Structure 1
Amino acid sequence: MKSAVIITVYKRYKYIDEALNSVLSQTVKPDQIIIVADNPKMLNNSINATVIEADYPQLGKKMFDAIKALRDDIDIVYFLEDDDMFHKNKIEYINKIFEKRRDIVTVHNSRKLVDENGIDLNYELDKIPFEIEIRKDNIVQIIRENYFLLSNNSSLSIRKDTLKKIKNYIAQIDISVDLVIIYFSLVFGKLLHIPEKLTYFRVGSGSSTIGNTHSSDEFNERKGKIVCTFNRTVNDLLKIYSMLPDCESCKKIIKRDLLYLYLYLSAENNFVNCDYKVKVPSLVRIFVLTLDYYLKNIISTKDLYNVTKGVLAQLILGKKKVSEMRSKKGY
């Protein structure tokens, strides 16, 4: 099977050589490499790749442009963010899965977490130590028990024909491309999660993880980036919810995600400057939604407890105090 790797880079070239080397050193080389970058002049000109200039932050639009550039003979598409890396036999291993399992449209592999210097953090984020087939009828239970299991673009690979079907949906998304791929994979087929750690996921180098910080100011700066990312994520989730044609279980997960994000942003949006902020429901509205979702079996008893506790904390202690307590605990 012929494979392609789509690499996205935006205003961050510190790790791009490591990312590219991890692709070029694969035991089975990809048949096409597509790099979408805001400044192609920062790339190594000697690499045989299709380069697309994209000086804008919307990841969905970048992916859409890259998908249009895929060769006709490509079968499987891999994704790699500029600060992540592939294990040397990732493409060989996953291509064989796609060859054997024609019913699988997407594969998600486990990740090894590394710090900004590429050193193993020895922390298990993906806690399912076995291969598991994910379908519309079991995804809710799987995500409830393993919340962070299916995140990260660099751990996803998909059949090109499925990717082509969803490219117009991807184009409408800001940053949450991985969620579009996951949920629409369940619309068109099955997703397979494998426990092999075939991706090195770098913590603390982007806008979704804090990583190691050396001062409270540095911690608060990174926390601010995460708050702004969460605002964009909420907007994406609302779009994905409206676009999904037939996956009620997926919509259940989205509702749960929105509930937690609303609760978090209800406090944090008051103290962080972001270019974009969503309209967050009132705490009373969040509590009413929580009760409604619990009665409809959208969220678990644990979720009911967590969100109710969070709402009461903000009502009793105040939003500023809750934000400060979160920062103190996180730092």
Structure 2
Amino acid sequence: MEKSNNYISVIITAYNRRQYVLDALKSSTEQSLSRQLYEIIIVKNFKDTNIDAFAEEHNVINVYSENKTLSGKIIEAMGIARGNILCFLDDDDMFYREKLEYVFKKFNENKNLCYLHNNFTAIDRDGKPLAYYNRNPDFNMSSISIRRETINGDAFGKVSKSIDTLIYLYAKESGMELELDSRELTYYRVTDQSVTHSFTDFNSFMEFSYNSLNIILNSYIQMLPLFHSRETRGIIKHKISFTRIRLNIFGGNVARLKDYLVLLYTPALESRSYEIKVAIASLFMRKYSAGKLYKNEKMKQEVK
């Protein structure tokens, strides 16, 4: 393969969870791309005999960190990373074998490309394919590859959650090219400990949705001062308003008339028709909509 300056740093992050870390590490070491063209860095808050031995054996940079936030762990990894292309991998996800070779080729072919988002295959705790899907361009860290210089490290650490959205917004504001690729190159695991939960009952779904939406809302508010372009700020304002509207369904009662108007005149990453349906539901059919959303999530998380 042609040599390039596009050296890749794979950044794996883990906090407390260790069940699938070896699977994540193995998927990153068993790539079709030569190891001369990429490095692997894992940042975690625990020591584990098997994981640490595997990391040492396979030349993985193993960093112990007490940092509780994803952004903080990524900043630590960036402090030692040699790559100008960053690929992220959550501790419970996996790469397809050809993932890094594909990323390397894409960035090598287009010098103005700063952000590549690949599609994913959702799997359950046992690795069985699920019907779950999400085609938003800012969803799933393990699907994101980005040029390192696009990220503002100082501001990056000010945001605690929704880091996949934050990275996407940095790419949008850079003025460089973004590519949303339909090719599935990542396994995205859905469990009761992942960002996308598997739910045991309706009450746990309601509680999780309410709590997680509040955290997400605060993260979007933290992002707003970090960006300056009209389009990027418009996306954040849209997300703030839409999150408030979604919270109404789960008993938040925080959305105002302005939030409903914002949906109509700011840029959207979600389907506009979907957002309108959610807005109507938050106004007139909260209890019914919450039940329907719960059923939809359960269906998405059924084995194909």
Q: Deviations over 1:123-142 (max 9, x none)?
A: 5543xxxxxxxxxxxxxxxx
RMSD of Structure 2 on Structure 1 (CA): 2.6
Q: Deviations over 1:151-174 (max 9, x none)?
A: 1110111122323xx112221111
> 2:205 & 2:274 partners in 1: Cα distance?
28
- Partner residue of 2:208? 225
- Alignment of 1:244 onto 2:244: no
Partner residue of 1:183 out of 169, 182, 185: 169
Secondary structure of the 2:52 match is coil
Secondary structure of the 1:45 match is helix
- Alignment of 1:156 onto 2:116: no
Q: CA deviation at 1:307?
A: 1.0
Partner residue of 1:288 out of 218, 234, 258: 258
- Alignment of 1:199 onto 2:186: yes
- Alignment of 1:93 onto 2:93: no
Partner residue of 2:69 out of 48, 58, 66: 58
Equivalent pairs, count? 283
Change (3 A) 1:84 1:174: same
- Partner residue of 1:276? none
Q: CA deviation at 1:205?
A: 4.4
Q: Deviations over 1:280-312 (max 9, x none)?
A: 63x5x2x33313553x45575764453134123
> 2:188 & 2:23 partners in 1: Cα distance?
12
219-228 vs 109-118, which deviates more?
219-228
Q: CA deviation at 1:327?
A: 4.3
**Aligned positions of 1:65-214 closer than 5 A:** 65-71=76-82, 74-122=83-131, 125-126=134-135, 148-163=136-151, 166-188=152-174, 189-211=176-198, 213=199
Given that residues 291 and 304 in structure 1 are in contact (C-alpha distance below 8 angstroms), is that contact kept between their aligned partners in structure 2? no
AA matched with 2:250:
E
Q: Deviations over 1:104-144 (max 9, x none)?
A: 01111111111121112255543xxxxxxxxxxxxxxxxxx
> After TM superposition, which residue ranges in structure 1, 4 or more long, deviate above 4 angstroms?
297-302, 321-331
Secondary structure of the 2:111 match is coil
AA matched with 1:39:
F
Q: CA deviation at 1:46?
A: 3.6
Given that residues 246 and 278 in structure 2 are in contact (C-alpha distance below 8 angstroms), is that contact kept between their aligned partners in structure 1? no
Change (3 A) 1:324 1:87: closer
Secondary structure of the 1:228 match is helix
Change (3 A) 1:223 1:64: farther
AA matched with 2:154:
N
Given that residues 41 and 60 in structure 2 are in contact (C-alpha distance below 8 angstroms), is that contact kept between their aligned partners in structure 1? yes
Given that residues 45 and 64 in structure 2 are in contact (C-alpha distance below 8 angstroms), is that contact kept between their aligned partners in structure 1? yes
Secondary structure of the 2:115 match is strand
TM-score computed with the length of structure 1 as normaliser: 0.76
Q: Which runs of 5+ in 1 are unaligned?
A: 127-147, 271-279
- Partner residue of 1:130? none
- Partner residue of 2:301? none
Change (3 A) 1:205 1:18: farther
AA matched with 1:160:
R
Q: How many percent identity over aligned positions?
A: 24
200-209 vs 151-160, which deviates more?
200-209
Q: Deviations over 1:46-67 (max 9, x none)?
A: 4222222223431111111111
Partner residue of 2:235 out of 249, 253, 256: 253
Secondary structure of the 1:44 match is helix
> 1:63 & 1:226 partners in 2: Cα distance?
26
> 2:115 & 2:14 partners in 1: Cα distance?
23
Q: CA deviation at 1:229?
A: 2.5
Given that residues 106 and 159 in structure 1 are in contact (C-alpha distance below 8 angstroms), is that contact kept between their aligned partners in structure 2? yes
- Partner residue of 1:142? none
AA matched with 2:172:
L
Secondary structure of the 1:27 match is coil
Given that residues 245 and 259 in structure 2 are in contact (C-alpha distance below 8 angstroms), is that contact kept between their aligned partners in structure 1? no
TM-score computed with the length of structure 2 as normaliser: 0.82
- Alignment of 1:45 onto 2:53: yes
Partner residue of 2:279 out of 304, 307, 312: 307
Q: Which runs of 5+ in 2 are unaligned?
A: 1-5, 299-304
- Alignment of 1:263 onto 2:271: no
Q: CA deviation at 1:2?
A: 1.9
